[in-house]
Structure 1
């Protein structure tokens, strides 16, 4: 310490706070004589041995906090603090807390990360206690009967991360805490849960029920066969202060119990028996408060919402993020058209291994229905045909012409291993025009001797229709999609569709012949990172129509260009052309044997 404190100074103290102190008990061998002290806080570094009489001279203290106390037992003088109202002993090494039962005026008790093994009967004497925090007491296994039910004024109870072997009668005691508003608890099994266990309307909670449920909502989701999904939106989910429910249940009776969680904000569902078709069965009010939804490893869910049923209100009006993984029978996220405000705050869509899903949403106008959408990631969905499908409320609207579908907020788009996908946004009008063109061609050819009626007219449609616009898109990752053409030759001249695109990855697109039509290259002036790999039929990066003279292509901001495993790539662009890369810092070319402008392996 910098200096010694005189007895006169200590006698006048009302508050003492010592942060990150490295001291030993010899400094105060008899404890502190601070009769006016009301607040004492000490964060300990190293080993500090508390004398048995340490608290004798501070019996007026109301708030006491020791962080990282390494004493194996609490000093007996702690029981003399009859005026103490707040006690925090987080990260303590002690295991016996019997002495704390003497502190009858205690209102707040925090023992986070302590080594206690049992919540002893003496704690039941703290009838004024309003907050009890036992979070992450990994060795806590036993709660003595009638302790919890004795804490009649308890408002907040935190018990997540404990190793408690819950018994039915102990859980029953929670039902008698009439003033409880906040609960954090992990229950490994669902068979011991009492009836009407969650009949209370809790204001704040983090509750996990079922084996492994405590791990839900994290950075990874593990499938039944060991496969996993990386949840990219994890860092964006501000789940700490949310009402959270994590469920992995085999009990059918729980469908009614879950109705009590009408105000849940973060919902993670794994296996859940009793759901026959759609998630709406769990909340007839449409999950009006839900912000984050994770559903995984559930074979029973066919759809999330069935709008064809008589639903008189909006569903998921506040939902910001949805994450679906390994839902092997999911056919639709939403049957029918949802109401205007349903999903209207959705920002993030992450879907993986949902093999029966044919599209993510069917909407009359996806950009208008999902105005806040910022991120889409879809992977490993074997039967997905499109991300969005155009659907009208009635047949009369099928002839409606939509000039532009503009996703104003979409910044990140990742589509990987979708073998059947044909387009980002299907448009019934475009398809009918193609059909009509084919029919007209057949009619015109009827005068010849050859019948072409059964011939398939090869019309290569771009993956991104020219009507679909992404003015804020920053990153685009296309991996193993079944498309011969990414972009339309002509983008709308009234707006810069890809004016903010900075990163483009094209990987494993086996049918792709080129990446950019020459007419749209100028839309990618912000591009900084370009990687093209494992496209076995790719012949050129930029394709252009035959024109006289030399064409110049500018990539003014590209700093990194990677070309890998492109066996048919022969040139950047056929025909006379120049390309400018003033900011290029790194160029990697690997196993592009026919490329005549670089060697087969080159790096700068």
Structure 2
């Protein structure tokens, strides 16, 4: 390896030094806590100085003007001898001004290279003779420019020879001689990208492409942001948000297949090449669908000097202390995006700023100060409102925005009015993120068209609670952010939602757990978190969500004996992650013993569960109970952790254990009554199980980590005359399990597969120990006890 570390940052035309610093430290695996640009530069210089013994490569991509390395915090010069710097630029003068030692010019592709690249992206078979001549001529029109070749080739993929000839004619006759501010060499790229744009399937695909130019250069565009624009601009006549999301993802895939959008390292995000973005802005002007993005100071002056009447979308981004004009005259404006990238300085939105923008449908404000009252001029058309890191006042005016379909609040403290559900009858997505307040469950129930909800719900009590429960509930409310408790009727139930990330505001108010919930939402999952809640009806009010619930966290729930008393073949079948902790009354995680027969005959349950974590459940007797007609299949389970469940005597029945083909990690500790991991003879009602196949081997083919700790009653892994095999085992840790016995066949068969023993101390059972500290000292045979020898395979 030539370099020990590589740091990468994209500069763009208007670089933010703070963003450049952040990209560098992230790619180098470092961290900056300083907020001020100069303080961050000082810290970076110190980090580089302390890393002089390491070979570091710094890559600065897309440099447009001379950059003072000292302002970023990069050490340069022979005296420092810290790192090598590689920069990419389109401008020769940048290399001159920055004193580059070595310059490598990347020329255009030659004819053969260009043709091969075109054929690759167009999917042309080498044996197809019908396209040989025309593909050469099309490749020539792309002037050896990879970006142009990819776009044209992708657009012509699967086209006939006649369509190729039509495309060639369009490329040859494109009238691009008068593109203002574009040099002759760049016009070929513009023509090819315009050609690819024209070949997009559908007006909504072209609109989505143009919209992406609204975001700053090199910006990672969140598909959920694009969904908001799609809903606000009514691109799709979809009957639900979920279907609109699917349609949008299909269009995004088409744009990526056309090489007009790029993937990023983050799932759910895309980006636009800066040249493609320039072409999109140019196309918008030509087609009178103007989108513009202005970055930096001087926004007020820019707004006065330039006529904005033709613009459909405007993005104003300030990376210093900026002032907005008192208003903008934009009668055709549908999209407005205001952002201040510095946390310390916020954009002050004037009271009458929106007065001449009555056609606005989508408004995003990041880092602003505003009164909701200022949005009154948009009441007839505004469909999407996103407020991020905003100081908001006059929240009661939210109810005036009658056409609102998406309301997104992130780090924007606001008191949601209780009557908002009655007023915003068209709302479909409500997002109340971190530090943005909470909402009453009753209010959520009043939004008649709500499909997706993400946020905190207020603490509540249920009518008919005992005085002791009510007193405890009120005492708990004193620790809540707003000290309020909502009284729910006995028959209250949450509305059926398509997507959700819900956290009840419990006494712990666990921000880390809520962050995990939001991460789950970003992955498109459905998540429910209940913490420290007293009323018995707590879980019942969410019953409508169980059919598509994917992630469930329960902690501190009392008065509940099982999570789901009765479920059918659809209930919890989408569940992938289940964490249950500190629920003192819980006896069974899932009880399907009283469930009715399903239409599907023998319904399979929990087949998608990947992760299960149980801790502090003193009354837990069974993890799952199911009648004969139900099959609990744990075929996807990879990780199981059980701790401090003192009433549990076993974990799996034999049939359940045989479905554990993906289990990689099994950790069990501090379970006082646990006798075995797999109960092979009895079911949960202590009825004897008949095993007809005579197979006494339980194979766990994927198990890599096995840890048993402080299990005083554990006798064996499997009950009766069964034994298990773990051919993939890499780590075995057994401590303080005095009654654990195992036959020599099982032990030898499993220990010979151990792949990682060195540098660990394992205590196996009560009668022997292995203490390996030096890999070189290992031999293949060890005397473990006085009764038998064990032969080990090759230890890695």
Q: TM-score by structure 1 length?
A: 0.61
Asked if residue 128 in structure 1 is aligned to residue 359 in structure 2, the reply is yes
| 1:207 corresponds to which of 429, 432, 440 | 432
1:239-285 CA-partner distances (Å, limit 9, x unpaired): xx9642322343426879x9785425224232489xxxxxxxxxxxx
Shift in alpha-carbon separation, 1:478–1:409, aligned structure 2, 3 A: same
For 1:553-598, what per-residue CA distance to the aligned partner results, in whole angstroms no more than 9, with x for missing partners?
344542223445779442586564343443533xxxxxxxxxxxxx
5+ residue gaps, structure 1, are 18-36, 46-57, 215-240, 274-288, 393-399, 426-463, 586-604
1:480 to 664, 670, 685: 670
Shift of residue 358, structure 1, vs aligned partner: 1.3
The counterpart of 1:10, out of the listed 180, 184, 202, is 180
Q: Secondary structure at the match of 1:147?
A: helix
Deviations 1:302-333 (A, max 9, x none): 452399xxx9xx76221222111222333331
Change (3 A) 1:211 1:145: closer
- Contact 1:70/1:93 (CA < 8 Å) preserved in 2? yes
1:537 maps to 738
Q: 2:550 maps to what in 1? A: 320
Q: Say what the alpha-carbon RMSD is for the aligned residues.
A: 4.7
Q: Report the alpha carbon displacement of residue 504 of structure 1 after superposing the two structures with TM.
A: 1.3
Q: Given that residues 670 and 710 in structure 2 are in contact (C-alpha distance below 8 angstroms), is that contact kept between their aligned partners in structure 1?
A: yes
User: Structure 1's 75 and 61: CA in aligned 2 closer, same or farther, altered over 3 A?
Assistant: farther
Residues 128 and 466 (structure 1), Cα distance of their counterparts in 2 relative to 1, 3 Å cut: closer
- Cα separation, 1, equivalents of 2:494 and 2:647: 41
Once the 2 structures are TM-superposed, how far is the Cα of residue 77 of structure 1 from its aligned partner? 3.9
Instruction: Identify the residue that residue 145 of structure 2 maps to in structure 1.
Output: none
Aligned equivalent of 2:533: 298
Structure 2 residue 531 is matched with structure 1 residue 330: no
CA distance in structure 1 between the aligned counterparts of 2:794 and 2:663, rounded to whole angstroms: 21
Aligned 8 A contact 1:416 1:480 in 2:
yes
SS of 2:421's equivalent? Answer: coil
Q: What is the TM-score normalised by the length of structure 2?
A: 0.48
Residues 125 and 334 of structure 1, relative CA distance in 2, 3 Å threshold: same
Q: Does 1:117 align with 2:318?
A: no
Instruction: Tell me what 1:376 maps to.
Output: 612
Moved more, 141-150 or 7-16: 7-16
Q: Would you say the 8 A contact 2:528–2:552 is kept in 1?
A: yes
CA distance in 2, matches of 1:489, 1:339: 26
The answer for the alignment partner of 1:433 in structure 2 is none
Q: SS where residue 353 of structure 2 aligns?
A: helix
User: Which of residues 65, 72, 75 is equivalent to 2:293?
Assistant: 65
Q: Which has the higher contact order (CA 8 A, sep 6+)?
A: 1
Q: Structure 1 residues 528 and 143 mapped into 2: Cα distance closer, same or farther (>3 Å)?
A: same
- Please tell me whether the aligned partners of residues 537 and 566 of structure 1 are also in contact (alpha carbons under 8 angstroms): no
Indicate yes or no: 2:456 matched with 1:246.
yes
Give the superposition deviation at 1:75.
Answer: 3.2
Separation in structure 1 between the aligned mates of residue 434 and residue 496 of structure 2, nearest angstrom: 17
Of 408, 411, 417, the residue aligned with 1:184 is 408
Instruction: Measure, in 1, the Cα distance between the counterparts of 2:794 and 2:298.
Output: 61
1:361-510 alignment, distance < 5 Å: 361-364=590-593, 368-390=604-626, 406-425=633-652, 465=654, 468-469=657-658, 470-482=660-672, 483-487=674-678, 493=695, 496-510=698-712
- Of residues 370, 373, 387 in structure 2, which corresponds to 1:145? 373
Change in 2 beyond 3 A, CA 1:259/1:511: closer
Alignment of 1:258-273 (within 5 A): 262-263=496-497, 265-271=499-505
2:320: which partner in 1? Answer: 93
Q: Identify if the C-alpha distance between structure 1 residues 73 and 503 changes in structure 2 by more than 3 Å, giving closer, same or farther.
A: farther
Superimposed CA distance per residue, residues 193-224 of structure 1 (whole angstroms, 9 cap, x where no aligned partner): 4353564243333135987659xxxxxxxxxx
SS in 2 for 1:553: helix
Contact in 2 for aligned 1:303/1:331 (Cα 8 Å): no
Distance change (3 Å), C-alpha of 1:262 and 1:127 = farther
8 Å contact 1:96–1:116 — kept in the other structure?
yes
Query: For the residues of structure 2 that align with 1:577 and 1:518, how far apart are their CA atoms?
Result: 22
State the shift of 1:44 in Å. Answer: 9.4
Residues 386-411 of structure 1, C-alpha deviations (whole Å, 9 max, x = no match): 21134x5xxxxxxx699x86422222
- Report what 1:156 is aligned to: 384
Deviation at 1:478, TM superposition (A): 0.9
Separation (CA, whole Å) in 2 of partners of 1:41 and 1:62: 13
